A and B are shown apart, each in its own frame.
Chain A
Amino acid sequence: MTATATTASATRLAIPAKPRRLAVRAAGWAATVVILLAFWDIDLEWDKIAGLPADLAHYGALMFSDPNWSMLGEAALQTWRSVSMAWIGAILGVVLSTLLGIPAAQGVGPAWVRLPLRVIFAVIRAMPEVLIAILILTVTGLTPFTGALALAIGGIGTHAKWTYETIEAVPPGTAEAVRASGGSLVEVIRWGLWPVAAPELMSLALYRFEINVRTSAILGLIGVGGIGAMLTDYTQHREWDTVGVLIIVVIVVTMVIDAISGAIRRRIMEGAKVRGVERQH
């Protein structure tokens, strides 16, 4: 293990040169430079960052050391309003997405239907729900209904995409069998695609509800009501003990809904698999 032995044997081995991979390196350096430029150009307010831990500790204590639990009743009511927005938004959104998503699937609708639909989905996907809500509130005002509509329309962007992707992922066998026995397009959808894709689509619909629960709190911030509106009010009035209660309520409600919805989704997907196995026997 002496140094001389090491170097001697190293010279005997013909170790191939390490490849340079210049393109990858150049891309890496370019990305690094862009990120560094962003760090340098943006006003990072270093003095604020220095005080950040102290600030967080200070306000954290204000919020959570003695939360104002007397607000729990009002918080529960506003939470229900947010959940209602999320639920109705999910139902409307899923119905619209299914109606629009099925013709957008490859093998179902013709290209002149598919492509415009997909462009519309992409545009909605790029639109933040808050902007959609700003448009809708000129029709239905600052009401929870506006929130539900914004969730429904905003949800089309991703949900219709998932819908046509799910349908395209269906193995072609079943649909082919229906077509082979003389089925029309509607019959192919009803008997060939729907039974196979339905569990996945139902699971996605529940997932849509989970996402909406979070987004409905965001929409509350522009004034359509619910827990988000309440949170904005009390934050602006700096009533931190109430803000603490509201944050706790948001976290608990979201996690409980996620857990319940997640359990049901697993049930749906596993049920589909078990039934599928039975069918094969």
Chain B
Amino acid sequence: MSDTAAARRPEAGDHVSPASGPWPITLDNVTVRYPNGVVALKDVSLSIGAGEMVAVVGLSGSGKSTMIRTINGLVQPTQGTVTVGPHAMTSLKGAALRRARGDIGMIFQSFNLADRTSVYRNAMVGRFSHTPTWRTLLGISTAEDRDIVMRALASVGMLEKVWGRAGALSGGQKQRVAIARALAQEPAVMLADEPVASLDPPTAHSVMADLADINADRGLTVLVNLHLMDLARQYTTRMIGLRAGEVVYDGPAASATDADFEQIYGRPVQQRDRLGEK
């Protein structure tokens, strides 16, 4: 991917389209200590290049969920700085922080859809940062927003269900709508927090394939939290291992050995660490 794209600094309020290219992510000495005293991340420094497809692997409680949330500012680090493309996430507040989040898509393990409302309105959530509050309040969206949402839904094959209730969908369909919601943001970076942990194996593979396509076709930087070793090997190019809030592995995903995984997990590899083939 071109380095010039990352160098271009959009002005505040500037509409960032995917054409502006993916962004790199940098974490500098990031430490997160929660109010209850738990240290979720210990002095983590990372550099992820624009357009990379990275897996963050670790057991639950290893800090990978916290790490992904520091990247879009849902969790503010106690120390250190996070930079995503032009945005210094750790120094942003209020409207500027919300605008920066608008450029970072995120999908979740539990999909986080509003079940009682339509697929369309759920995907419209992705347009929040580009929409004035009064428009959202009155429920009037522009033709452009509507078009972006429809195209995002079409790209994950969910256009047919656009007027259906989100709660009526299957798990795999819900995660596709969640991906469409993130794509509707027209983001430069895509974060995914255990996106397939609530799905059955065949659906998990197809959702991972969707994410790989987003990386390959749209050229987004993709960061995926996973706890299963075979998914990391199969779909990502680089793997970061987290254990007790510290980076214990950073290297190519395909060539990571079982010994590397044992180091990340802190125990021998077990059957449940693999999803299995479709």
Q: Which residues of A contact B (CB under 8 A)?
A: 1, 6, 9-10, 13-16, 18-19
The smallest C-beta distance from B149 to any residue of chain A, in angstroms, reads: 10
Contact partner of A19 (CB less than 8 A), chosen from B15, B143, B163, is: B163
- Other 15 A-B pairs with CB < 8 A, given A14-B159, A16-B163: A1-B17, A1-B144, A6-B144, A9-B147, A10-B143, A10-B150, A13-B150, A13-B151, A13-B159, A15-B150, A15-B159, A15-B162, A16-B159, A16-B162, A18-B163
B147–A6 touching, CB < 8 Å: yes
B15–A1 touching, CB < 8 Å: yes
Q: In the complex, A15 Cα to B151 Cα: how many Å?
A: 10
Residues of chain A lying within 8 A (CB to CB) of residue B144: 1, 6
Q: In the complex, A14 Cα to B17 Cα: how many Å?
A: 23
Q: In the complex, A101 Cα to B154 Cα: how many Å?
A: 57
Contact partner of B151 (CB less than 8 A), chosen from A1, A9, A16, A18, is: A9
Residues of chain B lying within 8 A (CB to CB) of residue A10: 143, 147, 150
Q: In the complex, A6 Cα to B144 Cα: how many Å?
A: 6
Q: In the complex, A193 Cα to B143 Cα: how many Å?
A: 61
25 pairs of residues in contact across A and B, judged by CB atoms under 8 Å: A1-B15, A1-B17, A1-B144, A6-B143, A6-B144, A6-B147, A9-B147, A9-B151, A10-B143, A10-B147, A10-B150, A13-B150, A13-B151, A13-B154, A13-B159, A14-B159, A15-B150, A15-B159, A15-B162, A16-B159, A16-B160, A16-B162, A16-B163, A18-B163, A19-B163
Q: In the complex, A260 Cα to B147 Cα: how many Å?
A: 56
The smallest C-beta distance from A3 to any residue of chain B, in angstroms, reads: 8
Q: In the complex, A13 Cα to B143 Cα: how many Å?
A: 14
The smallest C-beta distance from A24 to any residue of chain B, in angstroms, reads: 13
Residues of chain A lying within 8 A (CB to CB) of residue B15: 1
Return the chain B residue nearest A8 by Cβ.
B147
The smallest C-beta distance from A268 to any residue of chain B, in angstroms, reads: 29
Residues of chain B lying within 8 A (CB to CB) of residue A15: 150, 159, 162
Beta-carbon contacts of B158-170 to A below 8 Å, as 1s and 0s?
0110110000000
Residues of chain A lying within 8 A (CB to CB) of residue B154: 13
The smallest C-beta distance from A19 to any residue of chain B, in angstroms, reads: 6
Q: In the complex, A9 Cα to B159 Cα: how many Å?
A: 14
The winner among B17, B147, B151, B160 for most chain A CB atoms within 10 A is B147
Which residues of chain B in 144-189 are interfacial with respect to chain A, using CB atoms and an 8 Å cutoff?
A: 144, 147, 150-151, 154, 159-160, 162-163
Beta-carbon contacts of B1-41 to A below 8 Å, as 1s and 0s?
00000000000000101000000000000000000000000
Q: In the complex, A16 Cα to B151 Cα: how many Å?
A: 13
Q: In the complex, A14 Cα to B153 Cα: how many Å?
A: 11
Q: In the complex, A13 Cα to B148 Cα: how many Å?
A: 11
Residues of chain A lying within 8 A (CB to CB) of residue B159: 13-16
Q: In the complex, A6 Cα to B160 Cα: how many Å?
A: 20
Q: In the complex, A10 Cα to B154 Cα: how many Å?
A: 11
Which residues of chain B in 229-262 are interfacial with respect to chain A, using CB atoms and an 8 Å cutoff?
A: none
Residues of chain B lying within 8 A (CB to CB) of residue A19: 163
The smallest C-beta distance from B105 to any residue of chain A, in angstroms, reads: 19
Q: In the complex, A268 Cα to B120 Cα: how many Å?
A: 46
Q: In the complex, A19 Cα to B154 Cα: how many Å?
A: 18
Q: In the complex, A14 Cα to B154 Cα: how many Å?
A: 9
Q: In the complex, A13 Cα to B120 Cα: how many Å?
A: 15
The smallest C-beta distance from A22 to any residue of chain B, in angstroms, reads: 15
Residues of chain B lying within 8 A (CB to CB) of residue A16: 159-160, 162-163
Q: In the complex, A6 Cα to B149 Cα: how many Å?
A: 12
The smallest C-beta distance from B123 to any residue of chain A, in angstroms, reads: 12
Beta-carbon contacts of B127-157 to A below 8 Å, as 1s and 0s?
0000000000000000110010011001000
The winner among A13, A14, A15 for most chain B CB atoms within 10 A is A15
The smallest C-beta distance from B208 to any residue of chain A, in angstroms, reads: 26
Residues of chain A lying within 8 A (CB to CB) of residue B143: 6, 10
Which residues of chain B in 173-213 are interfacial with respect to chain A, using CB atoms and an 8 Å cutoff?
A: none
Return the chain A residue nearest B144 by Cβ.
A6
The smallest C-beta distance from A8 to any residue of chain B, in angstroms, reads: 10
* Interface pairs A-B: 9 shortest CB-CB: A6-B147, A10-B147, A13-B150, A18-B163, A13-B154, A19-B163, A6-B144, A15-B150, A16-B162
Return the chain A residue nearest B120 by Cβ.
A18
Q: In the complex, A6 Cα to B151 Cα: how many Å?
A: 10
The smallest C-beta distance from B139 to any residue of chain A, in angstroms, reads: 14
Q: In the complex, A6 Cα to B17 Cα: how many Å?
A: 14
Q: In the complex, A15 Cα to B160 Cα: how many Å?
A: 7
Q: In the complex, A16 Cα to B150 Cα: how many Å?
A: 10
